[in-house]
Amino acid sequence: MHNASFRLDPAFTIAPVSRRTFGTFVEHMGRCVYTGIYEPTHPTADADGFRQDVLELTRELGVSVVRYPGGNFVSGYRWEDGIGPVADRPVRRDLAWHSLETNEVGIDEFMRWAGKAGVEVMYALNLGTRGVQEALDVQEYLNHPDRTRLAEMRRANGADEPYGVTMFCLGNELDGPWQTGHKTAHEYGRLAAETARALRAAEPWLELVAVGSSGSSMPTFATWESEVLELTYDQIDYISAHAYYEPIDGDLGSFLASAVDMDHFINSVVATADSVGARLKSRKRLKISFDEWNVWYLRRFQAVQETEWNIAPRVIEDSYNVADAVVVGSLLISLLRHSDRVPAACQAQLVNVIAPIRTEPGGPAWRQTIFHPFAITARLARGDVLRVEPAAPLYPTDRFGDVPVVDAVATHDPESGEVTVFVVNRSQDSAASLAVPLAGFAWSLQVAEAWTLHDDDLEATNTADAPDRVTPSTLDEVSVVDGELRATLAPVSWSAIRMTPVR
């Protein structure tokens, strides 16, 4: 058995827990929208055509913010196609995913869905094939109260009050050659800066996200950020980051250590942004919007591409197993650990497309394995993120060198006194004994609830026929003894332990 430990002290905080950490992503891609969130003929559909079973699962997941409408899709999107009478809306080709978009769901429909789900909308603008004027038009339609042409158009379409969207993405992945409207860093930086200035002239308080690298493996990574930020630094609030992880050639050890790469990615973007800020003699500290992240079996997707122009084809509907869920839990640990610089993140995507929720047309909706660590973390992470430095044995990986067997983060709510530990055991063959001294707290703590996600069959998945094959179970071997949290963590497991003050 491996031995791991770390100390907790409420004085050593990183940042408050940001609710935007628990964001997700709805893109007009595959079946995320059509037969995902929207299916008017479904038995659970409400008067607006939205699946209430999916709405209930979205609320249970704890989603706080949803990025919309893309993704790669947005770089060819004409937002005007999705407003007004549905019968008059055009069907368009979507070059990003080689499919047909009916525009049956547009801005007004999605904003109604977001209101029902109780989530904030992070709106992505098309800076691939469009630019400043389109961005201003969308902002006016969404946010201007009345009297202007687009505000009155929104009111005529049923939304008398402005939607009040505050966070806008200035395009998507424009560093990628696959992106419609792909640009050099200089071309994009100029366009993003001009768009940001125009948007701030309309609403100075908007929060704006510039496009960062599509991944740390991009050949232009860091140089892209540096050049873009030289042109946009004073106009924006965030730089985006995207990362997807999958096991490569059966290398489970490296896959389980994916959060090591996420940590390095975040630290590299922060260092680059701070370097630009120093050169510009700015006191502003840019933040990161990690608005696409997840496990994605990308190599499977690249081997099977759409050749027909279909409506809502089945695209990258990955079925997630136990190991995938443990990795998702560990990536959430990384995001929380960087809450001081990463206060916004979106798991891509919400339904069907590499998603925690799956549906069948006319049939059930169910939770994938990765649903559970997200939902539990979103529910239990409260207050401040505490600085945690785990001491644990190392194990070798092919991709990341030697990495700790155990990784963890903790949160502390000063109002309730509650403390929650989120921890992952990456070992494939050994349990881990965790010891966490709690002497830094002025009160005694007791375990209120403890959950673990673990299964002897790492390939086990949830399906429509067996939707609860993999679920969190109670972590039994956990207690607070003599002011120390003690727990035994199964191999390849993710766990959450909530402690409350002894009254």
**Whole domain around residue 429: which residue ranges?**
2-9+385-501
Task: Supply the pLDDT for residue 306.
Answer: 63
Q: Per DSSP, which regions of 17-71 are E strands?
A: 23-25, 65-68
> Nearest CA to 122 among 83, 82, 71, 65?
65
Shared-domain flag, residues 361 and 400? no
d(CA 434, CA 447): 14
pLDDT at 442: 82
Residue that finishes a domain, picked among 344, 360, 380: 380
Clarify whether residues 310 and 401 are in a common domain: no
Same domain, 132 and 261: yes
Share of the chain above pLDDT 70, in %: 99
Closest CA to 489 of 448, 459, 449, 451: 451
Please write the tens of the pLDDT for every residue from 125-161: 999 999 999 999 999 999 999 999 999 999 999 999 9
Residues 390, 365: one domain? no
Mean pLDDT on 424-434: 98
* CATH number, position 496: 2.60.40.1180
Per-residue model confidence (pLDDT) at position 198: 98
283 and 425 both lie in a single domain: no
377 three-class SS: helix
Residue 281 maps to which CATH number? 3.20.20.80
The first and second tokens of residue 136, run together, are 């201003």
* Residues involved in catalysis: 173, 292
Orientation angle between helical segments 52-61 and 371-380, nearest 10 degrees: 60
Residue 304's pLDDT band (cuts 50, 70, 90): low
Domain end: 327, 357, 380, which one?
A: 380
Measure CA 413 to chain center. 23
- 202-257 pLDDT, tens digit each: 999 999 999 999 999 999 999 999 999 999 999 999 999 999 999 999 999 999 99
Domain end, chosen from 346, 380, 414, is at 380
Asked whether 290 and 245 are in contact (CB, 8 A), the reply is no
User: Do residues 311 and 413 share a domain?
Assistant: no
Q: Are residues 334 and 253 in the same domain?
A: yes
> Higher confidence at residue 396 or residue 443?
396
Residues 174 and 272 in one domain: yes
Q: What is the pLDDT of residues 264-277, one digit of tens each?
A: 999 999 999 999 99
- First and final CA of the chain: distance in angstroms? 34
Residues 181 and 284 occupy one common structural domain: yes
pTM of the model: 0.97
d(CA 17, CA 335): 10
450 and 429 share one domain: yes
**Both 334 and 356 in a single domain?**
yes
Average the pLDDT over each of 93-97, 128-132, 420-424, 438-442 and give the range with the smallest value: 438-442
Residue 478: half-sphere exposure toward Cβ, Cα within 13 Å: 23
Residue 139 pLDDT: 98
Q: Yes or no: say if 54 and 357 are a contact pair by the CB < 8 Å rule.
A: yes
**The token pair that represents 464 in the structure block:** 């429509």
pLDDT at position 410 is: 98
Count the domains in the chain.
2
Provide DSSP, 75-130. GG--GGGGSS-GGGPPPEEETTTTEEE--SS-HHHHHHHHHHHT-EEEEEP--SS-
In 217-321, at which residue ranges do the beta strands (DSSP E only) sit?
Answer: 238-245, 287-295, 310-311
Confidence band for 162, pLDDT divided at 50, 70 and 90? very high
Find the mean pLDDT for residues 170-176. 98
Residue given tokens 């990784």 in the structure block: 407
Residues 397 and 364 in one domain: no
